[in-house]
Amino acid sequence: MNNFIQRTITGAIFVSVIIVGILFHPLSLLILFGIISLLSLWEFYSIVPKTNHTILKLYSLITGTVVYFISAMYFQNIVGAKFLVLIFPMIFLIAVIELYRKKEKPFGNIAYAIFGVVYISLPFAFLNYLAVYNSLKMQSAYNPWLVMGFFILIWTNDTGAYLAGRAFGKNKLFERISPNKTWEGALGGFISTLIAAYILSKNTSLLDIFHWVIIATIIVIFGNLGDLTESLLKRSVSIKDSGKILPGHGGLLDRFDAVLIASPMVFTYIFFISN
């Protein structure tokens, strides 16, 4: 199959699944990103051996999945705060288990295992807060347009940066890590994302234009940094893609790299303006 056609079909299916999962119901969102979180963790922990570290993969996957679901259910007001306490013994047991594995670079193994949870599980869990914070605060029906807007801004930034970079790109943004990224592309993505933020402010009642612009700016800055962070990971182990789960697009980490850094930052901003 022609690579362009393959990429188009995969991209259309990917975006459709994300949109339906977000808009259908808060539980569909919780389950969707739980699955994505687990598969992304699997990709990350499959890359780690290339760094000459040997983590306890199964236990780390279980820990990351538990951290995601407990956090996500807490954000959706399904479980109380006391369940969050269960996260801590699971994380610290990673260090205890490492005592008995007799592997080289034990603290590197511990660091990679815990970093996977922080880098992947928590950012996906934060999306659940973005999805329901307004409905919980106002005690109204589910309104998913903050998290949907988050993804619209992410996708707009990516598309705008790509098109502007292809048309005008000359000055490298961060050549050591990602030689194809340019300042012109970044500016094009920023302008496109601001336009999308304006449209969202006019068509949703969640936030006014000021907050949408702030969120757009956060997404542009930290989305690009998230992209570069994942590129740094791949360069450090000399691989092109994080996985092969998405034909023509690589792995899930390749598609959610911007989300992993932008999500915690947007979550922090929304939390502070709403409390």
Mean predicted confidence (pLDDT) in 29-42? 97
For 237-256, how does the pLDDT look when each residue is reduced to its tens digit (9 = 90+)?
Answer: 989 888 888 776 788 999 99
| pLDDT for 2 | 61
Largest CA distance in the chain: 59
Task: Check residue 8 and give its pLDDT.
Answer: 78
Task: Using the predicted structure, report yes or no on whether residue 121 has a pLDDT greater than 90.
Answer: yes
The more confidently predicted of residues 222 and 180 is 222
Residue 267 in tokens? 């979550």
76, 83 Cβ separation under 8 angstroms: no
Mean pLDDT score, 127-146: 78
pLDDT at 44 over 80: yes
If you average pLDDT over every residue of the chain, what do you get? 91
pLDDT at residue 206 in the model: 83
Is the separation of the CB atoms in 128 and 36 below 8 Å?
A: no
Distance CA 106, CA 228 (A): 27
Span 46-57, pLDDT tens digits:
999 999 999 999
Confidence at 135, pLDDT banded by 50, 70, 90: low
Higher pLDDT, 77 or 135: 77
262 pLDDT more than 90:
yes
What are the angstrom distances between the C-alpha of 152 and each of 168, 196, 236?
A: 23, 8, 30
The pLDDT assigned to 247 comes to: 75
| Predicted confidence (pLDDT) at residue 70 exceeds the cutoff of 70 | yes
Is residue 218 within 8 Å of residue 262, measured between CB atoms?
yes
pLDDT of residue 160: 95
CA distances from 3 to 6, 162, 172, 247 (A): 5, 18, 27, 9
CA distance 12 to 166: 22
Residue 28 has pLDDT above 90, yes or no: yes
pLDDT, tens digit (0-9, with 9 covering 90-100), for 184-199: 999 999 999 999 999 9
The lowest-confidence range among 8-17, 92-101, 129-138, 166-175 is 129-138
**pLDDT at position 137:** 56
Reply yes or no on whether the pLDDT at 33 is more than 90: yes
Find the mean pLDDT for residues 123-138.
82
